[in-house]
Amino acid sequence: MQMDEVLASVAETIKNFAVIYLVDITEVPDFNTMYELYDPSTVMFFFRNKHIMIDLGTGNNNKINWALKDKQEFIDIVETVYRGARKGRGLVIAPKDYSTKYRY
């Protein structure tokens, strides 16, 4: 999958401030109901055991549920989440608006 390739390729780059974990949602069904996981690929952010929400302009602040194609774009999102989480913010604003009204 496209998102798996992006995650694998950036893992070494972001290792100083983020760790990537893959979770099989069939093995942890309680997690599915808690975070409404039903998409094939979902990226969520946690900092010190706290869920960090990110405003991407899509209305869903809990997760990224589409495949990002650009490695640098994903690194920028992770850096933004890390900086916001270190400051104690529970909701971080993404560096780019991903709403459907803007065509990228």
Residues forming a β-bridge with 45: 52
Q: Is 46 helix (H, G, I), strand (E, B) or coil?
A: strand
Its pTM stands at 0.84
pLDDT value at position 1? 75
Give 42-94 pLDDT, tens digit per residue: 899 999 989 999 998 888 888 888 888 889 999 999 999 999 999 988 888 88
DSSP-assigned letter for residue 88: T
Cα 72 to Cα 36: distance, rounded to the nearest angstrom: 27
Q: What is the DSSP string of 49-77?
A: TEEEEEE-SSS--S-B-S----HHHHHHH
Q: Is 93 helix (H, G, I), strand (E, B) or coil?
A: strand
Q: Residue 13 above 60 pLDDT?
A: yes
The top-level CATH class assigned to 2-93 is alpha beta
